[in-house]
Structure formats: structure tokens, C-alpha cells
Amino acid sequence: MRTVALTALAPLAWGSTYAVTTELLPADRPLLTATLRALPAGLVLLAVTRRLPSGSWWWRSAVLGTLNIGVFFALLFVAAYRLPGGVAAVLGAIQPLLAAGLAVPLLGERLGRRALLAGTVGVFGVALVVLRATARLDAIGVLAGLAGAGAMAAGTVLTKRWGRPEGVSPLALTGWQLTAGGLLLLPVAALVEGAPPALSGTNLLGYGYLAVANTALAYWVWFRGIGRLPATSVAFLGLLSPVSAAVIGWAALGQSLNAVQLLGMALALGSTLLGQRSAGRPATTVVATSGSTSTSSTATTSTASAPAVPAAATPAAPTVTATAPVPALALAAIREGEARGADLPQGGGPVEPAGRVAR
């Protein structure tokens, strides 16, 4: 339960992004904001941890950073500026369903009726919180919102599948992904938005908060949770972000909350709790190191989390964790393929209640 609660702090913090963006940052600079959130935070974490990827983790970090940070941020802001915030929020709320579907072939997690029910109720609850009767649709915005949710879902599942190298902390893994995503965003922001404007002290304060608390710390907590919880469980926690945004908008920005929105919050929170229970099931953890295989049964539930198991340390000593009752020989074959880089599978942010979405 402590791991679930700590991981939930990430989407709760992401809910503050809209308030910070509208009150402290320059207008109409979404890609600049995304870049300044990711790249400085990633470089600071690299300096603090003093650890760079090695072997296959160079391309794995690039893939994860692209999905979780670079592509997700860019698509999120495209959707934010082409759709009302409520529509974009509802599109983002399908991420748990997408993650649950991807977890079946990539992680061997079960897709039960309880998870499907929780995901559907979660989308409906978020819609009640943020959707407005005057909402309009834009084809490009809708596609961007769906693709962004898909990118984050795929990144969450692949982060769980690949784990992290032996001896590498979640903080270092977070730094790798933020740096990779920031480097992807930097030329895009420069090309689309041009040179950044002169920044005031208020702007710098806002960017500092987003980079440190809302990105470096929040994503460290998020990726740590992915390593210790089922991927579906973590994905359902993302439903807390629009709820947090609505509460902050009411408390700090004077926005109203009506009975329908309160009902939507209750449904979203209930869906999050149901998602934790649907993901909790016995699992078999198979670990192969230096040619030997050891198998141990663990119980992953919403109230107790097994310790994170390092995965794929180096090509010479691959370590991969799989949470499914799959034959050990089949897993060993998968691990050998991934160690050679031959098995690359193809393949969570806050929104504001009634306007632009910010991650």
C-alpha cells in the first residue's frame, strides 16, 4: 500500500501543471515548456547519479524517453491547443485501458472483466469532471490525444518489461529518459516556436517548479512505482491527475465544482481503487543470471508490493523479470533475444478541468 500511495503522488503533482502554466509561464509556448521541463531535469539527474547507459540500454533509454517524455509531451500539447481541455482529458483517460491491453502480450498480465470495468468507469468519471456541453472536436486533436495516450501506455508497459540494469537506481533511469525526451523536444521546439522569449522572475519560478517537483521528482516516483507494481496498477493511478487538477482549480483559481463533477471525482477515485485490486494477483517471477534460472512465487497485490527486481544488466549477464506463469525456457529465449537487441516490442500527465491541457 505504501508503494501505491507514493506512486500516486506523481499524478497528483501533475494535476498542478495547468495552474502553474496559466499563472506563472508565458503564453503559447507549449513545446518550450515541455523542453524546459524535461531536459534540465534530466541533465541534473545525470550529474547527480553520475551514471550513463551501457550496452543495449542506450537504445532502450532512447525508446523509453521518446515514448514517456518526448512524443507524449509533444502530442499532449497538440491535443491541448486543438481541443477543449475536457475532451483532451477524456482521451488521456483511456491510457489505463491501453496499458492493460498491452500488458497482456508484453507482460503476461491478465485482462479481466474487473480491469475493463474499472477503465470504463474511469473514463466516464473523468468526463463528468472535465467535459463541457460546448466541447468541440477536431480530427487532428483527437488523433494526437489518442496517440499521446498510446505512447504513454506503451512506455509504461515497456518500462515494466525491461526493468532496469542491475546496480542502476530508479533516479538514474529517470535521468536517462528525461534527457532522451528533452533532446528530442529541443530541436522541435526551436523549429516550431523559434527563440524563447525573455523570461521574468515569475516565469523562472514556474519553470523551476515544473522541472524539479513536477518532473524530476514526480517521474522518479512514477518509474519507481512501475518497477514495483503491475503496469496496469500504475496506469490506473493516472486517473488521479484530472481529479487533482479540478481540486486545485477550485482551491487556487476560484473555479467552481458542481454536484456532477463531484460525482465524476468519486467515480474516478473508485475506478482507481478498483484498478489496483484488478491488478493484484499471484505472479511467478523468473530471473536468469549467468546461465542459471531461479523461479520464485510472489504475490503482487494492491496492499503489498514485491521488491523491484533488476532486469537486463548487461549483454553478458542479462536479467529480465516477467510477471506471468510462462515456461522458463520460453522466457530464457526471450531474454537472449533482447540481450542481442533483436526483440524490440513495437508499440502521465495532468489536465486542467475546463480549458487547455498541460502535462
Beta-carbon contacts of residue 167 (< 8 Å; ≥ 6 apart) = 310, 313
CB 232 within 8 A of CB 109: yes
Q: Tens digits of per-residue pLDDT, 86-115?
A: 677 778 888 888 998 999 999 988 878 888
Q: Is 328 exposed, middle or buried (0-12, 13-18, 19+ CB in 10 A)?
A: middle
Q: Give me the pLDDT at residue 113, please.
A: 83
214-to-5, 59, 211, 223, 226 alpha-carbon distances in Å: 17, 26, 6, 14, 17
Residue 295 pairs in a beta bridge with: 286
What is the DSSP-derived secondary structure letter of residue 337?
Answer: H
Q: In sequence order, what E strands does the chain have?
A: 281-289, 292-300, 322-323
Q: Give me the pLDDT at residue 218, please.
A: 95
Q: Give the whole-angstrom CA distance, residue 102 versus residue 107.
A: 8
CB 170 within 8 A of CB 224: yes
Q: Is the pLDDT of residue 9 over 70?
A: yes
What is this structure's pTM?
A: 0.73
Q: Tens digits of per-residue pLDDT, 196-216?
A: 999 999 999 999 999 999 999
Q: How large is the angle between the packed helices 95-107 and 113-130, nearest 10 degrees?
A: 160
